[in-house]
Structure 1
Amino acid sequence: LEERVREALAEVARLVGEEARSQTWHPVLRDTPFGDYDVRLLYETRLEEFTSLAEDPSRLEAVRKRLQTLWAELRQKGLPPPGTYYALLHADGDRMGETLDGLQNPEAHRAFSNALAREFALKVKGIVERHGGGLVYSGGDDVLALLPLHRALACARALAERFREVMAPYGKGGVLPSLSVGLAVVHHLEPLQDALDLARRAEKKAKEDQPKRNALAVIYSPRSGSELAVRGRWDESPRLTQRLLRYADLIRLEAVPSRAAYELKELIREAGDVLSEEALVAEAMRILKRKEMKEAYREELAHWIRTKEHVERLAHELILARPFAEAMEQAGVPVESREVWDAH
């Protein structure tokens, strides 16, 4: 199958010409059929960005047909075409000024700066690339990176954990440096400046929503439809990353009907300010009971809704988990059992 992909890309590249060759190289593509080529070749919507195709409609049509044949062949093998969403991560340290103010002498300041630079900033590139991403910059406690969607949540957590470990010796009097992370989930045709603005807004939401700091915020900007944002602190149990990954697995198992999340969201919109909290939670339970799903999965979701805030959170997180589920399915990530998930 890999050889068929390689042959198809080589044929497409011959039609496109020199423009088809990749101008950048990423270690995650090493020894794959995609390593030598501009990945825009994989998307019909981007083919006209190649001058040779834009100026020759017959050649453009030939490339389109070859790609369509390839994707049809892959679908027969259970493999979907490449995903259209990616994640842009922006992270920033919390309480850094307070921590610096608490250091007693120049030696302590130097030790702090060295730890931040050598033990965190210089390690970020490796962490990002181990999760299939590309680092844009890492300066002190500031990080910007591009990530494949199926690894983005794990990367966000790995960065936050590394930062916490490096900064742990410098926490004094309850002031412990932490990392607030924003993830923007965006379509690949979204202007990069818009994606960057979204990632910065997500990081700001992680840092400034209550309770402040030490958090992850994810903002999803679908190609059509309204923006959706969720947030969770790193010290929550279960963490936002865990919840989203679990919901993604339930979606992949077709264990949760897609309408459930939208009905919960509609309940909040229509009755959130009318019903008492107890009545609202009861109505949310009734929505889940009306859905065709295994009792164990229904009870699992019901366990997480105790308040109005929980109902709204569940609705938003179920909706936002879907692009992650699609990316994980496309990447062939195994679905985890609840027991394995509990052990994370």
Structure 2
Amino acid sequence: MSHKYLFIFTIGPVQSFIAQARKTQDLYAGSYLLSYLTDHAIDKLKLKATSCEIIFPYEHLKSKPSRFTASIETEDVKRLGNELKQCVMDEFESIADAGVGIVKRGVLTSFKQQIRNHLQVTWVALPLEEEKYPTMYRDLEANLYAVKNVRKFEQLVESGRKCSLCGERDVLFYRGMKRAFLRNDAISLNHQPLRYMGNGEGLCAVCLTKRYAGDYFHSGYERDFPSTAAIALMGSLDKLDPNLLADYKFLFGGNFDDVLYYKDNLTLEYFKKYSFPTEKLDEAARQLSAIYAVKKQKNLRFYKYYAIIMFDGDNMGNWLSGKYLKDTTQLMDFHKKMTVSLSYFSDNVRNLINKPKGRVVYAGGDDSLALLNLDHLLPVIHDLRCAFPHFETLGHDVAGNMASSASCGIVIAHYKTPFAEALEWVRMVEEEAKEIDAQKDAFAIAVLKHSGEIRKAVMKWTYNDKSTTALIEEIVKALKDEEFSNTFIKSLRAEFGGLLDEKGKYGDPPLIVTEIRRLIDRSCTMTRNESEDKEAFAWRRKQTVDDMISRVTSLYTSSTSAENFFSLLDIADFLSREAD
């Protein structure tokens, strides 16, 4: 006889599997694989259960999170849960076997051990009484937490050189010379294309599976996910003759990378490192010079910085638990409406971020990860925050004045900055955005300059009904249009930077406001038009200066500290030089 159950199923590890990446393709592959395995589990559950309703996430969501909640009917929930777990483990092993193929023959036993010990699949279930759904959901979440804390694991004894990506498992495959501490049975992949493994890299079975994932998925998988250089150049390359670019790419065969659009990479050392025919160097230099000539005619620049953004709904655990609902008996209906609204948001994310603005890595409902071209950074993050769903308007009474919100971490990095480092930073600044105050609803932005200098600021999305990102965008535009020089930014830090306390605050805020007015007026570089009389110019200049003072003062008064404010102005100055 079948019984109804509330069922939660999770696949891990999540953060490490996705974020252990040396290039953007690794990041995308990890995200895609977890989403695919969640889809696979849902499909199998619908086949094996007597009945099945997916409550969270939306069933047709393109990028699914690594967990789902369902209402199911089955005769034996323990057998069903374990069969589902085994289906996911088997599918991951099939992807690894088919993707990596024959190159693993010499390390077959170790390969299977690493693959089988990687995934952490957990499920929990309770008999479902719909009138007790809120209590049951909270109990099930608590059970899931407890199970994860006492999960079983198999000891995998490995003492060789560790994987270049994860740093956890032994290297089974390598490229280049055989280095110290490599296992005796490690396999050379010198004959494989560079997109699978770079020179000097050594990978374990799990990380090599991410590199070969595109060979397993015949549709829906993006085999050539844009590199950091491609994102940085996206706005400029889109304005050049595609035939000119195609001829240049053809010189490099199937191993072209957008870093080759930068002249400082067109060297003999680079060609040797990546096994390009050195006899093609002169022709490559000639064709690249032709591209630069057209670039100059069109007044374009090849920028070297890009942005990573991590966008995440605030207090999602409390919303899902029903903490903010006046009538918690309606929690299941609220969950279903949340699921649909977050699905729409996910679609909006993909519609907002596409070429030449950037590329979405995943949009899994309330959280998203994307790479952005700097030309579009500020308007895109503004639009994302505006598009985030309002849970308080889903037809259920919400306690107090609670309203849904979201926070965002943003990191601007040089294309040569180690990608893993940039990812670590974006996770860190997203956490800082959520820690700004109890209400959260903020963004944190950091610039990792190639020189090693770092600037970081945390701000609320709005202040006195003014959009913070819009204010920054207007300041950036004024600097870019050369209405003002950046001397007021440098002078503010020079005058007050040494007078701040340990929290970055200044003891006399009105004095900074007074100095903002004086320095901005002095930094105005506007000139009179030929057809403009002195009075008209004086009025136009005054309006422009007053507007700039208002924007900068608003940012100062809404900033958590003077140091935070100075860093935000430094970032605005940086964007005025590094984005069109």
TM-score above 0.5? yes
Deviation at 1:204, TM superposition (A): 1.2
Distance change in 2, residues 1:144/1:253 (3 Å): same
- SS for the counterpart of 1:224 is coil
Q: Contact between 2:410 and 2:430, CA under 8 Å: does it hold in 1?
A: yes
Instruction: Note the alpha carbon deviations across 1:250-305, whole angstroms, 9 max, x for none.
Output: 01111121222111112221234576333343334333343343443332333343
In 1, Cα distance between equivalents of 2:356 and 2:248: 29
Distance change in 2, residues 1:264/1:271 (3 Å): same
* Residue pairs, 1:275-290, within 5 angstroms: 276-290=508-522
- SS for the counterpart of 2:553 is coil
* Residue pairs, 1:190-205, within 5 angstroms: 190-205=417-432
Q: Residue in 1 aligned with 2:25?
A: none
Verify: 1:297 aligned to 2:517, yes or no.
no
- SS for the counterpart of 1:184 is strand
Q: Between the two proteins, what is the percent identity of the paired residues?
A: 23
- SS for the counterpart of 2:466 is coil
Q: Contact between 1:119 and 1:166, CA under 8 Å: does it hold in 2?
A: no
In 2, Cα distance between equivalents of 1:84 and 1:297: 31
Distance change in 2, residues 1:114/1:72 (3 Å): same
Deviates more, 1:307-316 or 1:186-195: 307-316
- SS for the counterpart of 2:510 is helix
In 2, Cα distance between equivalents of 1:147 and 1:253: 23
Higher CA-based Rg? 2
Counterpart AA for 2:425: L
Counterpart AA for 1:302: I
Q: Residue in 2 aligned with 1:341?
A: none
Q: Contact between 1:85 and 1:323, CA under 8 Å: does it hold in 2?
A: no
Instruction: Note the alpha carbon deviations across 1:290-329, whole angstroms, 9 max, x for none.
Output: 3343443332333343867586565433321234334542
Q: Contact between 2:488 and 2:519, CA under 8 Å: does it hold in 1?
A: yes
Deviation at 1:196, TM superposition (A): 0.9
Instruction: Note the alpha carbon deviations across 1:175-199, whole angstroms, 9 max, x for none.
Output: 2221101111111111111111121
- SS for the counterpart of 2:251 is helix
Counterpart AA for 1:196: L
- The TM-score with structure 1 as length reference comes to 0.77
Q: Residue in 1 aligned with 2:313?
A: 93
Deviates more, 1:128-137 or 1:271-280: 271-280
In 1, Cα distance between equivalents of 2:287 and 2:514: 53
Q: Residue in 2 aligned with 1:39?
A: 258
Distance change in 2, residues 1:42/1:86 (3 Å): same
Deviation at 1:4, TM superposition (A): 7.4
Q: Residue in 2 aligned with 1:18?
A: 254
Instruction: Note the alpha carbon deviations across 1:219-247, whole angstroms, 9 max, x for none.
Output: 11111252112222223242221012101
Q: Residue in 2 aligned with 1:63?
A: 284
Q: Contact between 2:457 and 2:568, CA under 8 Å: does it hold in 1?
A: yes
Q: What's the Cα RMSD here?
A: 3.2
Distance change in 2, residues 1:158/1:289 (3 Å): closer
Deviation at 1:69, TM superposition (A): 3.6
* Residue pairs, 1:177-192, within 5 angstroms: 177-192=404-419
In 2, Cα distance between equivalents of 1:316 and 1:3: 32
In 2, Cα distance between equivalents of 1:181 and 1:292: 33
Distance change in 2, residues 1:94/1:75 (3 Å): same
* Residue pairs, 1:1-344, within 5 angstroms: 5-20=241-256, 38-47=257-266, 54-80=275-301, 82-102=302-322, 103=325, 104-105=328-329, 106-129=331-354, 132-165=357-390, 168-169=393-394, 171-210=398-437, 212-236=439-463, 237-272=465-500, 276-293=508-525, 294-303=541-550, 304-305=552-553, 315-326=566-577, 328-329=579-580
Deviates more, 1:286-295 or 1:84-93: 286-295
In 1, Cα distance between equivalents of 2:239 and 2:412: 31
Length, aligned pairs only: 311
* Structure 1, unaligned runs of 5 or more: 21-37, 330-344
- SS for the counterpart of 2:548 is helix
Decide which structure has greater helix share: 1
Q: Contact between 1:260 and 1:291, CA under 8 Å: does it hold in 2?
A: yes
Distance change in 2, residues 1:168/1:217 (3 Å): farther
Q: Residue in 2 aligned with 1:333?
A: none
In 2, Cα distance between equivalents of 1:19 and 1:141: 36
Q: Contact between 1:120 and 1:163, CA under 8 Å: does it hold in 2?
A: yes
In 2, Cα distance between equivalents of 1:278 and 1:157: 30
Counterpart AA for 1:288: I
In 1, Cα distance between equivalents of 2:479 and 2:252: 38
- SS for the counterpart of 1:129 is coil
In 1, Cα distance between equivalents of 2:334 and 2:240: 57
In 2, Cα distance between equivalents of 1:120 and 1:2: 27
Q: Contact between 1:92 and 1:179, CA under 8 Å: does it hold in 2?
A: yes
Distance change in 2, residues 1:4/1:138 (3 Å): closer
